[in-house]
Amino acid sequence: MVDESASEMEQKKQAIIERMAAREREAEARKAARADGDAAAVGAQLRAFEASFAAELAAAHAALASLAAAASADPAAQLEAVGAQIESLHRLVAGAASFLPLAVRGTSAAKIGELEAALKAERERVAPKKKFSFKDRSKLGAGGGAPPPPPPPAEALVRTDTFKAPAGARGFRSSKGAVLTRPAGESVHGDYALEDLEQCDVRLLTACTALWVRNLRDCTVFTVPCPGSIYLTECHNCTLVLGARQIRMHTSTQCSLYLHAASHPIIEHCSDLRIAPYPALPAGIPSPWAAAGMNPEQNQWKLVDDFDWLKQSQSPNWRVMPDDDRLPVEELLKSLDLNDLPVAQ
């Protein structure tokens, strides 16, 4: 009886072990199925992005090709249309950044950069050339009527601006005189926005997919490098410490920019910009460059493309900040609470 009882106990024990093993196999199977489903969904999203991106890119290149072939009746309108297509490509990449692999983001940014360079070259080609002629000074002031008024300044022109954060983007908005900190350690996925800020000290210690900056006055902004793009509009009298794969700025004046850019920074409708390189972060803080997919040694901060200046000479709208005018690293980072930053182990 004792042996039979022991045998029954052993059988029951073995049955329990087998049931537990079966449950674990079922759980693993469900987990694998969910993973396969997630991977399939991401794969479908990626294929849809690649198809849309390729189609829009091809359409923009085709429009430029028609310009080069003098097939467009209105070159100025065609140039604006290509510019709008480029903005659409930027938005497409920004909207898909949550599931795009880093390599795909980099390749897409490079293709957009090539398209922007081609657009700039085409603008220079179709820009009307001034004809040289000697002025007949005898007619000046001789009752020939007043000279035509000068064209309105760039600031007076109405601009169409497409730099706007996607709906639902997190961020800081509508503040004055505040210290605004996004602490380290938050999720990098998703866009972030800074909008309608005045006299604020902004510290973004977690990177984001793309940063949208709009209507800032008398502000200081520091951000760790982000793996996507930074879009800035209507910034005035600000100090901006920014790092990104691509940096674009519209309708901004009197700003000091400390930049790390993996591609040429682009400005449009801007004036009185002073530009210097992004500062080195203090020792003991882990490098953010690897997380952003960028090389700290490859900084194109001073290779600025000004879309309002088509000449080969230096644009009057921006200048390299003299060394003596640059704030020391300690001054740039003094507002940061280094305890908020992760410490290297």
Instruction: Enumerate the domain spans of the chain.
Output: 2-126, 163-340
Q: Rounded distance, CA 29 to CA 36, Å?
A: 10
Measured CA to CA, the distance from residue 109 to residue 262 in angstroms comes to 10
Q: Pick the more confident residue, 189 or 141.
A: 189
Q: Supply the CATH classification number for the domain 2-126.
A: 1.20.58
pLDDT at 150: 42
Under DSSP, is residue 249 helix (H, G, I), strand (E, B) or coil? strand
Q: Rounded CA gap, 281 and 326, in Å?
A: 16
Beta-carbon contacts of residue 164 (< 8 Å; ≥ 6 apart): 212, 214
Burial grade of 234 (CB within 10 A; 0-12, 13-18, 19 or more): buried
**Residue 13 scores a pLDDT above 90:** no
Amino acid occupying residue 278 = Y
Higher pLDDT, 84 or 325: 325
Please tell me whether the overall predicted TM-score, pTM, comes out greater than 0.85 for this model: no
More confident residue, 308 or 11: 308
| Domain formed by 163-340, architecture | 3 Solenoid (2.160)
The pair of three-digit structure tokens given for residue 213, joined into one six-digit string: 């900056």
pLDDT confidence of residue 10: 72
Task: Tell me the mean pLDDT in the region 68-74.
Answer: 66
- How far is Cα 22 from Cα 7, in angstroms, rounded to an integer? 22
